[in-house]
């Protein structure tokens, strides 16, 4: 079985799951490595758009035409005072790019929050340490979350392993652990996001591939049970990425 077939199997199980309620809080327990300092829990009063997020937007193109789109974010590209958003567009069923400054209304489909003030919309895309960490590692996060959701739910211990991995990769900075956990809990990767994640991983250094595969194994075991799909997925990733023993 190839990785795309495995992704499809993972996704079919993820999509059948009802959205979980927002977790009341987040606690790191027994990290595998010492996390970078300082780390603080900041009140979630400044939402940010993140890689893997699914949003509805009202967009004005360069000709002034308005359209409503549902997008899954793949990448953010800074352009001085503006941000170029690379995303999968459901309306066009294709990858598209959007300028943040041309978004007239922004709806987070996970939370239902609607933002329609231009300065507030631009704020969504301005980086802080947490949003940079989520954006830089969005593909790998999606991959780890997909593995955790194979058995029908993403347990708190699985979320903690994913968060610990992100903290270990993020480098120095002030990270909002509550926001990270809420993002992980809401994340439901689609095929396009997972395809991009595996393409990026395949081009990474061998050591980085090995680290993400080790993290995948920790996620699979975190809830105390390992299902057959998780074993097959990780085994085939090892084989197709050239790390099989």
Model confidence over 16-29: pLDDT tens digits? Answer: 444 444 333 333 33
pTM of the model: 0.64
* Whether 113 and 204 share a structural domain: no
Phi, psi of 103 (to 5 degrees): -85, 120
- The span from the first CA to the last CA of the chain, in angstroms, equals 18
Q: Are residues 61 and 110 in the same domain?
A: yes
Shared domain check, 143 and 37: yes
The number of distinct structural domains making up the chain is 2
| Residue 222 C-beta-side C-alpha neighbours within 13 Å | 31
Q: What is the mean pLDDT of residues 72-90?
A: 88
**At which of 77, 107, 125 does a domain end?**
125
Residue whose entry in the numeric block shows the structure tokens 């969005």? 138
Out of 125, 143, 160, pick the residue that ends a domain. Answer: 125
The domain in which residue 235 lies consists of 3-45+129-240
List, for residues 184-230, the tens digit of each pLDDT value.
Answer: 998 888 777 787 788 888 888 888 888 988 999 999 999 888 888 77
> Under a CB-based contact definition with an 8 Å cutoff, are residues 208 and 136 in contact?
no
- The 10s digit of each residue's pLDDT in 37-64 is 333 333 344 567 888 889 999 999 999 9
Predicted confidence at residue 166, as pLDDT, reads: 94
On whether both 166 and 121 belong to a single domain, the answer is no
26/74 same-domain check: no
Question: d(Cα 90, Cα 62) in Å, to the nearest integer?
Answer: 20
Question: Does 245 fall in a domain?
Answer: no
Same domain, 15 and 32: yes
> Residue 184: inside a domain, yes or no?
yes
Our measurement of the distance from residue 165's CA atom to the centroid of its chain's CA atoms, rounded to an integer in Å, reads 13
CB count, 10 Å around CB of 37? 10
Distance CA 159, CA 148 (A): 8
Instruction: For residues 2 and 6, give the distance between their C-alpha atoms in angstroms, rounded to a whole number.
Output: 6
**pLDDT for 134-153, tens place per residue?**
888 888 998 899 888 887 78
pLDDT (tens digit per residue) in 86-133:
999 999 999 999 999 999 999 998 888 899 988 888 888 877 888 888
């Amino acid at each position: 079985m190839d990785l795309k077939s495995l992704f499809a199997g993972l996704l079919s199980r993820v999509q059948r799951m009802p959205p979980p309620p927002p977790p009341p809080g987040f606690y790191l327990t027994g990290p595998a490595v010492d996390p970078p300092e300082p780390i603080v829990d900041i009140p979630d009063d400044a939402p940010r758009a993140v890689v893997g997020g699914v949003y509805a937007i009202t967009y004005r193109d360069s000709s002034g035409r308005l359209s409503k789109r549902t997008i899954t974010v793949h990448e953010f590209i800074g352009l001085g005072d503006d941000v170029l958003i690379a995303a999968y567009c459901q309306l066009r069923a294709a990858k598209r790019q959007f300028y943040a400054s041309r978004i007239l209304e922004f709806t987070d489909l996970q939370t239902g929050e609607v933002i329609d003030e231009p300065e507030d919309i631009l704020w969504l895309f301005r980086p802080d340490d947490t949003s940079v960490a989520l954006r830089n590692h969005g593909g790998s996060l999606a991959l780890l979350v997909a593995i955790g959701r194979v058995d029908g739910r993403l347990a708190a211990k699985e979320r903690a392993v994913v968060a610990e991995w992100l903290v270990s990769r993020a480098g120095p900075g002030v990270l909002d652990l509550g926001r990270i956990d809420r993002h992980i809990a809401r994340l439901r990767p689609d095929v396009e996001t997972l395809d991009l994640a595996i393409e990026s991983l395949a081009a990474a250094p061998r050591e980085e591939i090995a680290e993400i595969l080790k993290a995948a194994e920790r996620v699979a075991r975190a809830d105390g049970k390992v299902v057959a799909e998780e074993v097959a997925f990780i085994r085939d990733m090892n084989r197709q990425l050239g790390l099989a023993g």
